[in-house]
Structure 1
Amino acid sequence: MQGPPMARAPSSVISFLRQHRRLQNPIPFDQVRNLVGGGDEMKQGGGDKMKQEEEQRLDDKQQPYTEMARRVCQTIRTRPRWEHTLLSDFPSFNFLDPNCVYEIIKCQNNAFLSFRFFQWLCSQHGFSPDSRSCNALFDALLEAKASNALKSLLHSTHFSPKPASLESFIRCLCEDGFIHDALDVFSQLKQLGFSPSVAVWNSALMGSLRVGSTDLVWELYSDMMESGVVGDVDTTGYLIRDFCMDDKHTEAYELLCQVLEAGHAPDNVAFNTLISGFCKKKYYCKVSELLHLMIAKNCTPDIFTYQEIIHGLCKNGMQAEGFRVFNDLKDRGYALDRVMYTTMIDGLCKMGRLGEARKLWFEMIWKGFTPNEYTYNTFIHGYFNNSKLEEAQKLFRDMCDRGYRETTMSYNTMIAGLCLHGRTQEACDMFEEMPKKGIARDVITYNTLIQGLCREGKIVEATKFFHELQALGLQPSPSSYTPLIQALCAMGHAQEAIALWNDMQSKGVKPLVRTRDYIITGLCKQGNFTEGME
């Protein structure tokens, strides 16, 4: 897809805002879910009556155990090392009786204590888990969303939960990022001849997106189609987001249009993801089209939609247009949040409009949004970039005085600002403070100092930090090598620069284009034109 001319980009978004001055309340979209597989529903009539009678008989049988089970549960809840005394505390209670086990699990209102009790039972000679107790424990752990405990239970007992419980297990695994474990449960349901609902398939699609497995999304979708389950509007929303993650915005847009033509509309997340992608590519006319489509389909653009637009404009050097959209949203009555204010403060600082940035800072506080660490660091960075060193240092102290914990990010911001203005000794002092305050140094910390020292020609000190970075097991990046190579070449040490270049290559670090330029220039200055040509 070809992007529209840049000259038209800002006006298309602004014109949309002008055309929709009145706020519209979002209208919930009736999502049609095509659930497949009637075999998982209970038969009505005589079957239900027989089941109820059987459950009543079991409940009657359990009555004698109830009071004793409550006492056992009380002991488990209140005594730290109950495993050592439980048998002697209740000598007449048969812990190997499946009815006793079931009643304790049922009475214990803590799934993790029930699981601990069950593990203790498994260590007792002669204990054999029964399916009823296992299912009760499994359902309790499901309600607690304890994925690891559920996996451990299945591994240790090898019992088969009910299909409905396995469906819930899939959703639990997907929420916790165990997508490959969820796939194994899908296979288990398939062997049982049970077809999961579209909601369960969707949870797996969502889980795959969360862990960044875009290929797995299409594998799951293919399996879903083969099983006879028809996707719903949520399914298409996940597919659109998957296309965007793979930078296939054209395909995502085409799929969205097909869904809209069919009379459906995905949620705002799918729209926002696509809008974010078009903003990155500077296709602002497409952004405007999407905004109009959202309104037409009763999917009113929300604050997150405009966050993506303003962020995209500011990131692409169009801070003035982002500020126009920001102010227009305020005029329309949108409740702008701290993220929106921080993004705009950053944009104004990059334009050098510190007065307006400071005005937004106080406006944000007046509206009840306390600046967070990211907001502070954004403004501190802006002050440094506009040669306001004293203001930056004052704001850093203010951040610390207000109880914000000093972090790697805040120190990196200060070190970078000091190095930018040749205050490398102060930067090194802050660097030395970090471990004393329990603040971790990362590769960005080292790279910043290396760059600042190289800029001042302090190659020995910069090299010391470079070797320290490697000794700590941190992975050097192109920004670790490039300043050193540039400084060495400028000082006539091209061979040492080449040695660094070779080390860079051996570690699989991809060099920047300008890194080669520095070496070629350095060799040519030494008269090694042949080697430079190579």
Structure 2
Amino acid sequence: MARAPSSIVVFIRQNPRTRQKPNNQIRSLTFENKEGDCGNEETKPNPHREPSQNAQNEFTEIAKEVSKITRTKPRWEQTLLSDFPSFNFSDHRFLNEVMKHQNNVLLSLRFFHWLCSHRGFSPDSLSLNALFDALVEAKACIAAKDFLDYTGLKPEAASLECYIRCLCEDGLVEEALGVFDRLRGVGVCPSIATWNSALSAFLKVGRTDLVWKLYVEMMESGVFTKVDVETFGYLIQAFCDDDQVLKGYELLRQVLEDGLDPGNAAFNRLISGFCKERKYTKVSELLHTMIAKNRAPDIFTYQEVINGLCKKRKSLEGFRVFNDLKDRGYAPDRVMYTTMIHGLCKMGLLGNARKLWFEMIQKGYIPNEYTYNALIYGFCKIGNLEEARKLYKEMCDRGYGETTVSYNTMIAGLCSKGRTDEAHKLFAEMPCKGGVRDVITYNTLIRGFCKEGKIVESTNLLNELLVQGLQPSTSSFTPIIKKLCQVGDIEEAKKLWNDMQSRGLTPMVYTQEHIITGLYEQGYVEEGMEWLLEMLKHKLKPREDTFKRLVHRLLQRDQSDDSLLVLDFMLKIGYTLEKGIYASLWLLNFAKRIPDLPKHD
């Protein structure tokens, strides 16, 4: 006996009491009746002739009873035939009747698969299309996809467009794109609303590659001449997501020249992009353009400006905009207050941050966990750990559980002041309090231990991180490599270096420099030279201090030719020489030219 696909069965089990409104198309499936004599076969409708009114009534009653059984009986498939031994279930009209009375489309689908398992049943296209449309209306995308694969149904164009929107809402963007191809194959061009729903879905899942693929299809189909401002807004966002903000800006200007109004969302996205690139002149241009077009910047526009300035360590400029915003009558919300408090705390301007904190409370905005963590970070940054702890306790007392962010903030603050033992206690209690350790948690404590020379503890944390199945970052390895090089354990440092690369991690430039410096200090100057040349080969720029250390070591070993080679690289990169190096080189070369003096008795 055939069964429904596994994904459908799982869905039904997870939603045993789901009640959907019957699809309009299912409701319209009526059983046309004509008077006729069915003899003694009233309970066996002949698919080739219409039943009498009495037979129709009994037909309907059986459909109602079957619908009830499929809703209430767990394993009805095993007993349904014996419950109605003389009834002809192969009549495709009975499926339509059951769907009219069934209030759960997935149960109707289950009944359909049961019917398909019996010989003689052949569903008509009307039933198939109605069942597919009902699945789409119920947002059962996976079930609808399995249904198409199972039946080979070719739905109408309007049904496919609804299916595209259903897939997009569920994040199944690859499948949605495939349905576009199916429509194009039958010569149907979807509506602008359908194109836009797909563009929006692609952006939500970060698939700008699919946005541009769909854009090409829009151009080829000729629909691009009919696009609306919503479409342009999605394309502008795609440009910004691809770090091509200027192209998005050019598109916006074209839209404005055509007399269209793209809405504040497009402006806000461009403002955010230009803030990220530190092109504040463009930000100013956009703000002036909005005002000139009678589209006053809203609170979200200013939020993007302030957030962008704070992220680029321009919190004072952000603070000026924030105050100007209030002077103009805007009312900053809790998000904007939190953004501004965090920006000021990052600059160490805790006094201004605390003023905003109390101002926010006076205006009725209750600080949330993000606001608390911003101020806790500020206290930690200036070294006032006692106030940070008080605020942390207050946050917990207010019902904001000890989150990963709050733990990481406190651990970082304690480590910055050398209180790694206290930081490790917080680290140890995290699982008990519901906190989830992430890579940042481990990296912060590893860095703190390394600063205090606790290499064993740092290495143990790195190993624990790997055992937990977390994906390490370069910051997980670099502090340990640096400390190993400083204590002269170059071989262990190189092992970690190789382990880091084998995991697909790209080391930071200064990570390699730590090994080079360590090799110099241990007297392995030639090997240090090899590492340096490898860096230059990959167009990496070592720091000036790395060059100077190598030159000094080479001069101490009277290797003037090698030191001149290093100096040549140094000058080509753009670094300058110290007078001391010039003097050392001159004396070394001068000493080589002086012949051995005669010995006197």
Shorter-chain TM-score category?
0.7 to 0.9
**Structure 1, 164-173 or 93-102: larger mean CA deviation:** 93-102
Match of 2:311 in 1: 315
Larger Cα-atom Rg: 2
The one-character-per-residue Cα deviations of 1:297-352 (angstroms, maximum 9, x if unpaired) are 34432222111100011111111221222222233333433221210110121233
Give the distance between the partners of 1:449 and 1:527, measured in 2 at CA. Answer: 32
Aligned amino acid, residue 311 of structure 1: N
Task: List aligned pairs for 1:254-265, cutoff 5 A.
Answer: 254-265=250-261
Task: List aligned pairs for 1:324-339, cutoff 5 A.
Answer: 324-339=320-335
Instruction: Judge conservation of contact 1:275–1:309 (CA < 8 Å) in 2.
Output: yes
- Compute the TM-score of the two structures, normalised by the length of structure 1: 0.83
Does the residue aligned with 2:103 lie in a helix, a strand or coil? coil
Give the distance between the partners of 1:334 and 1:120, measured in 2 at CA. Answer: 63
Q: CA deviation at 1:243?
A: 1.4
Give the distance between the partners of 2:142 and 2:204, measured in 1 at CA. Answer: 19
Q: Which of residues 359, 380, 389 is equivalent to 1:384?
A: 380
1:409 maps to 2:405: yes
Instruction: Judge conservation of contact 2:202–2:210 (CA < 8 Å) in 1.
Output: yes
Give the distance between the partners of 1:92 and 1:427, measured in 2 at CA. Answer: 77
Does the residue aligned with 1:479 lie in a helix, a strand or coil? helix
Q: CA deviation at 1:182?
A: 1.2
Give the distance between the partners of 1:157 and 1:241, measured in 2 at CA. Answer: 39
**Structure 1, 420-429 or 294-303: larger mean CA deviation:** 294-303
Give the distance between the partners of 1:56 and 1:442, measured in 2 at CA. Answer: 56
The one-character-per-residue Cα deviations of 1:240-265 (angstroms, maximum 9, x if unpaired) are 21211121122111111111111112
Give the distance between the partners of 1:252 and 1:502, measured in 2 at CA. Answer: 42
Give the distance between the partners of 2:64 and 2:423, measured in 1 at CA. Answer: 63
Match of 1:227 in 2: 221
1:251 maps to 2:247: yes
The one-character-per-residue Cα deviations of 1:373-417 (angstroms, maximum 9, x if unpaired) are 322222222221122212222222233233333333332222222
Give the distance between the partners of 2:359 and 2:130, measured in 1 at CA. Answer: 54
1:277 maps to 2:273: yes
Give the distance between the partners of 1:122 and 1:57, measured in 2 at CA. Answer: 22
Give the distance between the partners of 1:56 and 1:116, measured in 2 at CA. Answer: 19
Q: Which of residues 166, 175, 178 is equivalent to 1:181?
A: 175
1:467 maps to 2:436: no
Q: CA deviation at 1:479?
A: 0.3
1:422 maps to 2:418: yes
RMSD (Å), alpha carbons: 2.7
Instruction: Judge conservation of contact 1:241–1:252 (CA < 8 Å) in 2.
Output: yes
1:441 maps to 2:437: yes
Instruction: Judge conservation of contact 1:446–1:465 (CA < 8 Å) in 2.
Output: yes
**Structure 1, 245-254 or 94-103: larger mean CA deviation:** 94-103
Is the alpha carbon distance of 1:192 and 1:495 closer, same or farther for their aligned partners in structure 2, counting shifts above 3 Å? same
Q: CA deviation at 1:169?
A: 0.8
Give the distance between the partners of 1:530 and 1:323, measured in 2 at CA. Answer: 53
1:203 maps to 2:197: yes
Give the distance between the partners of 2:330 and 2:113, measured in 1 at CA. Answer: 54
Q: Which of residues 149, 152, 155 is equivalent to 2:143?
A: 149
1:530 maps to 2:529: no
Aligned amino acid, residue 339 of structure 1: V
The one-character-per-residue Cα deviations of 1:98-146 (angstroms, maximum 9, x if unpaired) are 3232233233333344344444444555544332222222222222222
The one-character-per-residue Cα deviations of 1:7-33 (angstroms, maximum 9, x if unpaired) are xxxxxxxxxxxxxxxxxxxxxxxxxxx
Aligned amino acid, residue 185 of structure 2: Q
Task: List aligned pairs for 1:103-142, cutoff 5 A.
Answer: 103-123=97-117, 126-142=120-136
Aligned amino acid, residue 452 of structure 1: G
Aligned amino acid, residue 239 of structure 2: F
Give the distance between the partners of 2:412 and 2:249, measured in 1 at CA. Answer: 41
Task: List aligned pairs for 1:80-119, cutoff 5 A.
Answer: 82-83=76-77, 86-87=80-81, 94-119=88-113
Match of 1:13 in 2: none
Give the distance between the partners of 2:30 and 2:503, measured in 1 at CA. Answer: 70
Does the residue aligned with 1:352 lie in a helix, a strand or coil? coil
Is the alpha carbon distance of 1:413 and 1:262 closer, same or farther for their aligned partners in structure 2, counting shifts above 3 Å? same
Instruction: Judge conservation of contact 1:106–1:136 (CA < 8 Å) in 2.
Output: no
Give the distance between the partners of 2:119 and 2:330, measured in 1 at CA. Answer: 66
Q: CA deviation at 1:163?
A: 0.9
The one-character-per-residue Cα deviations of 1:37-94 (angstroms, maximum 9, x if unpaired) are xxxxxxxxxxxxxxx9xx7974668973555544444444455555555555666765
Instruction: Give the number of equivalent residue pairs.
Output: 481
Is the alpha carbon distance of 1:502 and 1:105 closer, same or farther for their aligned partners in structure 2, counting shifts above 3 Å? same
Match of 1:160 in 2: 154
Q: Which of residues 229, 232, 236 is equivalent to 2:232?
A: 236
Match of 2:17 in 1: none
Match of 1:212 in 2: 206
Give the distance between the partners of 1:137 and 1:281, measured in 2 at CA. Answer: 51
Greater RCO, 1 or 2 (C-alpha within 8 Å, sep 6+): 1
User: Can you give the 5+ residue segments of structure 2 that lack an aligned partner in the other structure?
Assistant: 1-24, 34-49, 531-601
